[in-house]
Chains A and B, each alone.
With several copies, the nearest count.
Chain A
Amino acid sequence: MKKVAEFFVEYFQFLDKDSKVVDDLPEFTNDRGFLISLYRSMVLTRIFDEKAVRMQRMGQLSTFPSSLGQEAVMVGTGAALKKEDVYCPYYRDQGVLFRHGVTPKELFIYWSGDERGSAFSGAREDFPIAVPIATQSLHATGVASAFKIRKQPRVVITMCGEGGTSEGDFYEAINLAGAWNLPVVFIVNNNQWAISVSREAQTKCETIAQKAISAGFKGIQVDGNDIIAVYDKVSQAVENARNGGGPQLIEAITYRLSDHTTADDASRYCPKDNLDKAWDEEPVERFKKYLEDYHDFNESEDLAIKDECSKEVDQAAIDMLNFEKPNAESMFDHLYENFPEALLVQYEELIAMNKEGGK
């Protein structure tokens, strides 16, 4: 018998749950403006989520998955993306998309049940939200392959939940990323629940990070409620990938403080104790306290940010509600670039049906 391979998984945290600094802070924490911008994005995300949940209750959105409690994962990831990089989202990562140029109005439109929300005016190459779990992991490898083939110094980030890591697609993606040494970073938003299925029921492995070992590259854990850890590690992984260093997997440990979506009732399965404990560790307050303790952040600055974000979100909601409704026949508009003759009859039928005021 001999040992032929050894592996380990590291965990990174800079701010503990009481906002105490527990490790040497990275360079970027000297840039107050940048820190405030991260904070603002987290606040924007939270306010957006709250508004969206309310709008869904009023019948203005069809369903909505809040990212409550996971804002640090989202904003830290989004901030690591350069404009020319590509993001392959899942459905709970509004904070990443906002940082990458997608607007609150667009996401409202999307969740109102309208394809036009995915037309992303500011992130032209990002993938649309992937509802089929973990499929986006593979698209990310494809985009990264295109960068590699064209020798472009660009990087792809993709995210899924810890539940999504049970899908074959996730694994096929990390395996390919390893084999081809692709410039792609896999973020796992480990929020402890896949709808009602707990992290423990999902997989026996001690960490989600170690799944990368099966693909031959490094996986690490970060405290997903610590925006400094998330941003630091994701941006390092991104720059490493940009420099030809290949893929990396980052498991961000956090907690889903909301229902799975507005269609769910987490009180059926989520123990109240866990939730209370998780509220103590949530990222927005943690970061705010750090800013107060180490960067002279004050209440009036905070109020100004919250006010600004609320206004932005409210305006986006109004814009969405005023957005002109699509024609019925628009369902054919982007099916193919060259409209097939075979579909003309149906297309005209649809137009006629709606002219007649048919239901």
Chain B
Amino acid sequence: MTMITMAEAINQALVYEMTQDQDVVVMGEDVAGNGGVFRITVDLLEKFGPDRVMDTPLAESMIAGCAIGMASQGVKPVAEFQFMGFIYPAFDHIINHAGRLRNRTRGRLSCPLVFRAPYGGGIHAPEHHSESTEALFSHIPGIRVVIPSTPARAYGLLLAAIRDPDPVLFLEPKAIYRKFKQNVPDTGQALPLDKCFISKTGSDVTIVAWGAMHAEAMHAADILEADGISAEVIDVATIKQLDMKTILTSIEKTGHCVIVHEAARTNGVGAEIAAEIAEHGLFSLHAPVKRVTGFDTVMPYPILEKKYLPNADRISKAVREVL
């Protein structure tokens, strides 16, 4: 049993799938010679050669547009955006093309690709490097948005994302790239997309989280446990399409719900989850749904980022408020 980090688990998934499937290629800024600025794609160039591991010129719209063209031919690019804060020049291709190629051609062409991007705060990075704007993408039809919260889930979900015949945005919570390790056997076993994971069962409250906030939610659950409060923790994992069934079933049981995300509050993914609960779970609720989120400000520079990001304290406090 070897314990590995999320960074290593992602690399392990890439190596596994590139070995199995000759059509999988990796591309992006600094992913080849440098192995990625977070070293996620380290050694891939050596293992798979320059035809399959490609440094691109510095242009994000190009990375997306080129990947879409490749995917239309059945090549399966795993394209990296160096940080989520630099994905926006590619927005047009993601919404107008990746999400629509299959639909527009009535299935004649498709777009089996993965866009990877490290996201989120907590590593004292310069401006624009700490963004969490997954909600922008969860509004876009035709794509999937997947966010792992542990090394094992990163491995299984990335395999699923690469194998999925449609475009997947795979957002990697960089704060936990190397924060903890898990045993992740290299079996090539994918995890299901479009499904939440129940990370901890409980009876008093449902805490819904994803990415780096999942660990904070688990930590909050421990704090609450000490006070005799039993929290169920749900890792949403696939932000789009949302598995509301699992969440609603949990709320039926607990009657209380706290949703956590680092992104700004207004129109975050938490809004959609809360809205669905308001429509379909209203009569299960014993108290209002609470959202613990980043503030509706620009993500502040490192000196204040801790004040911005939700944490176990804020989560457990919110839980006490709704109980």
Contacts and interface: CB of A to CB of B under 8 A. Distances in A.
Q: Do chains A and B touch in the complex (CB under 8 A)?
A: yes
Interface string B147-169: 00000000000000000111000
Query: Chain B, interface size: which category?
Result: 35 or more
Contact of B29 (A147, A195, A326): A195
A333 B103 CA distance: 8
Interface residues of A, number: 80
Contacts, number: 253
B243 A342 contact: yes
B188 interface: no
Interface string A110-121: 011111101110
B313 A359 contact: yes
Contact of A337 (B59, B75, B166): B166
Interface in A302-341: 325-326, 328, 330-338, 340-341
A346 B296 contact: yes
Contact of B126 (A62, A331, A334): A62
Contacts of A358: 313-314, 317
B73 A146 contact: yes
A171 to B, nearest CB: 9
B37 A139 contact: no
A143 B244 contact: no
Contact of B69 (A128, A142, A163, A343): A142
Contacts of B58: 133, 163-164, 166-167, 194, 197, 202
Given A132-B128, A167-B59, A350-B307, A139 B103 contact: no
B30 A197 contact: yes
B127 A338 contact: no
Nearest to A163: B58
Interface stretch (B4-12, B92-100, B177-185, B255-263): B92-100
A271 B318 CA distance: 54
A197 B69 contact: no
A176 interface: yes
A195 B34 contact: yes
A143 B104 CA distance: 18
Interface string B293-322: 001111011111111100101100100000
Nearest to B123: A62
Interface string A137-167: 1111111111111100000000000011011
Interface string A89-132: 00100000000000000000001111110111000110110011
B85 A132 contact: yes
A123 B245 CA distance: 42
